[in-house]
Amino acid sequence: MNNQDRALKVGLIGYGLSGKTFHAPIITAVPDLYLAKVVERSSELSKERYPWIEIERDVKSLYKDPAIDIVVITTPSTNHYTFAKDALLAGKHVIVEKPFTAASEEAEELITLAKDMGKVISVFHNRRWDGDYMTVKQLLEQGLLGEIVEAEFRWDRFTPNAAPGKWRNNGELPGSGVFYDLGVHFMDQALSLFGMPSSITADIRTQREGAEADDGFEVTLGYASKLKVRLHASLLARKKGPRYAIHGRLGSFVKYGEDPQEDMLMNDLTPKDAGYAVDSEGHWGQLDTMAGKLRLQGSIQTLTGGYQHYYQNIADHIHGKADLAVKPEEASAAVRLIELGLQSSREARTIMIS
């Protein structure tokens, strides 16, 4: 029996930006997974890079294939719920591109259905495997900054022209806009690092010429410990602020520059290539803290991330060898925070979270 026969068979729904750039090259880098089929409505672009796969025109054909173990959904956020529900009912394990769903009620329904069907459902919160986030997590776990009192996560880009006709720019569609697209990553990271906040105050904006959906946000998560976590995104930031700025009672850590994996994947580099996910020394974060009576200042080498670890965990969990790293309940909580943030912005007030 060869490795292909032993591997879990994966069917990918969608080969747009997410499927092509993130999921397909990451799945094919994990030996315990085998990308068997891709659903493309009219083209066969995936076969150009993965000539062995089978193209399906209809998702129902994918669901009916008894050889498919896992269905990966990379469709627009507006219809994650429908595809995930149908895949679960077909007896498949399911991976959903973030955000989990456009509504937390839909997410909770899918969680219950997955349990009833005895299947795994998880959400591709790949940014937990960003090297900079992993470095921040290690600093906090080791207590090098002391009790954290303030944290800021920023997603600054400069794309001043809104893309007409794209679903993410259609403000009428649920799950569209930058807050769902990028904000849910930061919500997931904040929840993973600090837990559920006690309050949320949000200013969700539409700033660019021709933009129909939100394209920037300022969000403050309040905690009972008096910790404040500020989440920021702008598509009109030609000069970028720090990606992470973490301040504690002993010291601070400030990191500029985004994790390199997205750019690498867009340039056809994969986890199989040397140097994948390695952050450049010029982007290493700066630490300034106290160790007893000694003041420590200097660069901290960024830990090497790897989105393939998400998918390896999925395979290990299905085989009963590991706990699920990204639990659906966590992904549902992130969507709930997005909903509360939208409510806060709409009503121009702080929302208390029970």
At 234-288, the pLDDT tens digits run 999 999 999 999 999 999 999 999 999 999 999 999 999 999 999 999 999 999 9
What's residue 163's pLDDT?
81
- Residues forming CATH 3.30.360.10 domain(s) in the chain: 127-306+336-352
Q: Are 287 and 3 in contact (CB under 8 A)?
A: no
What's residue 168's pLDDT?
83
Whether pLDDT at 1 is above 50: no
pLDDT single digits (tens) 158-176: 999 888 778 888 888 888 9
Confidence of residue 310 (pLDDT cuts 50, 70, 90): very high
Write the DSSP symbol of residue 41.
S
pTM: 0.96
Bridge-based pairing of strands 216-222 and 228-234 is antiparallel
What's residue 170's pLDDT?
85
What's residue 92's pLDDT?
98
Unique residue bearing structure tokens 């397909």 = 24
What's residue 169's pLDDT?
84
Class of domain 127-306+336-352: alpha beta
Confidence of residue 34 (pLDDT cuts 50, 70, 90): very high
What's residue 3's pLDDT?
55
High-pLDDT (> 70) share of the chain, %: 99
Please list, in sequence order, all residues whose beta carbon lies within 8 angstroms of the beta carbon of residue 142, skipping any fewer than 6 positions away.
Answer: none
**Nearest alpha-carbon partner for 166 in 16, 328, 29:** 16
Q: Which fold has domain 3-124?
A: Rossmann fold (3.40.50)
- Residues forming CATH 3.40.50.720 domain(s) in the chain: 3-124
What's residue 210's pLDDT?
87
> How far apart (Å, rounded) are the C-alpha atoms in residues 40 and 188?
30
What's residue 4's pLDDT?
67
Backbone torsions φ then ψ of 295, nearest 5 degrees: -95, 130
Average pLDDT over residues 334-349: 98
Backbone torsions φ then ψ of 292, nearest 5 degrees: 70, -125
Where is pLDDT greater, at 172 or 18? 18
Whether pLDDT at 2 is above 50: no
Q: Are 183 and 326 in contact (CB under 8 A)?
A: no
Where is pLDDT greater, at 354 or 185? 185
What residue type is assigned to position 176 of the chain?
A: S
Where is pLDDT greater, at 329 or 171? 329
